[in-house]
Copies of this chain bind each other. A is one copy, B any other.
Amino acid sequence: MELFYSHEIEGNICHLDQDESGHCIKVLRHRSGDEISVIDGCGTLLRCRILTDSPKGVDAEILAAEKDWGCHPYRLHMAVCPTKNNDRFEWFAEKACEIGFDELTPTIGEHSERKVLKTSRVGKILVSAAKQSLKAAIPVINEPVAVKDFIRSCAGESTSLKLIAYCFEDERVPRRSIKEVLDGFEGSDITIMIGPEGDFSHAEAEAALEAGFIPVHLGASRLRTETAALTAAASVYFRYM
């Protein structure tokens, strides 16, 4: 099934940008009058008829709309420290999108080796992964923030389940498995923090606990950052399966 993405929708007209238009007209040879399927990136699938078949910008008339197309029964915000190797972070973003998540915040921890991340590349990967896995909603990618700033920004959220996965042992605060904590949660709004290769600092972990985050472990296996992040996303997927 061929999907296009439009972030410019006005009334009953949707506009495809130059990339999508070129693919639609030059590669797939669509012409005026053809019907195409378009996602709005917010969860709605649009059935459209092409009005203008310019490779620079396609305009199409919306014939029908289907909400919550390819959606999942939870809301998952992943806050993940970028990996030293960019490919691994981008790989996580693609796979987590296939499984199903909603928002990605790259967080920079005190032990992070990588302090910067180009979100535009990740954004493109999320668009193609959403189209490839037949989801009308494209996960939001936020600009990177410091771990402590992210924790502060979450401090208010009381209805959501906030989890932080760190590896070091702390007798004062025993960690439960993410599976056990998810099984005991009645709601559907979840935020999970995954640290960098060097793990979260003790100060970051303490700040998270003060802000209402629950410390969890991801089982006995020692996982790389991107594997830990995907495994955590999969645990949410299975919780609501």
Residues on A lying within 8 angstroms of B by beta carbon are: 70, 72, 91, 95, 98-100, 132-135, 177, 179, 219-224, 227, 230-231, 234-235, 237-238, 241
Contacts and interface: CB of A to CB of B under 8 A. Distances in A.
Contact of A98 (B133, B134, B221, B241): B221
Nearest to A182: B238
The 7 closest A-B pairs by CB, nearest first: A234-B234, A219-B241, A133-B222, A98-B227, A179-B241, A134-B222, A177-B241
A84 to B, nearest CB: 13
Nearest to A220: B72
Contact of A237 (B91, B135, B231, B237): B231
A219 to B, nearest CB: 5
| Most chain B C-beta atoms within 10 Å of own C-beta, residue among A72, A134, A219 | A219
- Oligomer: number of copies: 2
16 contacts: A70-B221, A95-B227, A95-B230, A98-B222, A99-B231, A100-B221, A132-B224, A133-B221, A133-B223, A177-B241, A179-B241, A230-B234, A231-B237, A234-B234, A235-B238, A238-B238
A77 B163 CA distance: 31
Contacts of A224: 98, 132-133
Contacts of A98: 221-224, 227
